[in-house]
């Protein structure tokens, strides 16, 4: 393997980004690895992994624009703010559909285009004092501070999908 290597991995849902690194280290017998950005355990997607001297190139990849796909289920509020949490409140599908048309949703989604500074969700893999925020949340603790991230949305597309699936 070359000394400056970048590996692209499609991380599956259900494991941490560091689990991917751990598996690669074991399979390749290489210790020096890092990744350009963390994917939450509930997310799947592309991980850019630097190996040996390739770790020095990771900063370049962090600055690149990214594309995300998100499933949004309207009418349900959960304990975690995602589709994995326990349901706190639910509005029947017919009521949601009555209140919102596809045009309303498209307009709403288009309003997200632009640059935003957001508090990192408490169920995030971002670390505070060496501990992932989702760990604090699942232990019922508040982190010492809540980091913020700047996010730029250049385009957004609405696709209507089905119901909650675990």
Q: Are both 91 and 130 inside the same structural domain?
A: yes
Number of separate domains in the chain: 2
Q: How far is CA 42 from CA 24, 39, 63, 121, 149, in A?
A: 20, 8, 23, 13, 19
Q: Are both 11 and 51 inside the same structural domain?
A: yes
Q: Are both 107 and 133 inside the same structural domain?
A: yes
| In the predicted structure, residue 166 carries a pLDDT above the cut 50 | no
pLDDT digits (tens, 9 = 90+) for 32-88: 999 988 788 888 999 999 999 999 988 888 878 777 777 777 888 988 777 778 899
DSSP E strands in the chain: the ranges are 4-11, 33-35, 45-52, 76-78, 87-90, 114-119, 127-128, 131-132, 148-153
Is 166 within a domain?
no
pLDDT at site 7: 94
Computed over every residue of the chain, the mean pLDDT equals 84
Pick the catalytic residue from 19, 40, 71, 129: 40
| In the predicted structure, residue 102 carries a pLDDT above the cut 70 | no
Instruction: Give the integer Cα–Cα distance in Å for 123 and 125.
Output: 7
Q: Is the pTM for the entire model greater than 0.75?
A: no
Instruction: Give the integer Cα–Cα distance in Å for 138 and 126.
Output: 14
Is 55 within a domain?
yes
Q: 35 - beta bridge partners?
A: 49
User: Which range of residues forms the domain containing residue 134?
Assistant: 76-153
Is 71 within a domain?
no
Contact 105, 158 (CB under 8 A): yes
Q: Is 82 a catalytic residue?
A: no
Here the CATH number for the domain that contains residue 38 is 3.30.70
Which residue has tokens 């982190």? 143
Is 163 within a domain?
no
């Amino acid at each position: 393997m070359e000394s400056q290597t970048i590996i692209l991995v499609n991380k599956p849902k259900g494991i941490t980004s560091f689990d991917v690194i751990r598996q690669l280290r074991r399979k390749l017998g290489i210790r020096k690895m890092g990744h350009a950005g963390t994917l939450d355990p509930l997310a799947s997607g592309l991980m850019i992994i630097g190996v040996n001297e390739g770790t020095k190139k990771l900063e370049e990849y962090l600055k690149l624009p990214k594309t995300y796909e998100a499933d949004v289920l309207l009418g349900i509020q959960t304990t975690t703010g995602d589709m994995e949490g326990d349901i706190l409140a639910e509005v029947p599908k017919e009521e949601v559909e009555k209140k919102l048309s596809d045009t309303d949703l498209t307009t709403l989604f288009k309003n997200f285009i632009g640059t935003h500074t957001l508090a990192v969700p408490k169920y995030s893999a971002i670390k505070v004092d060496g501990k992932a925020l989702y760990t604090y949340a699942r232990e019922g603790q508040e982190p010492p501070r809540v980091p913020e991230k700047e996010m730029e949305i250049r385009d957004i597309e609405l696709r209507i999908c089905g119901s909650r699936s675990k």
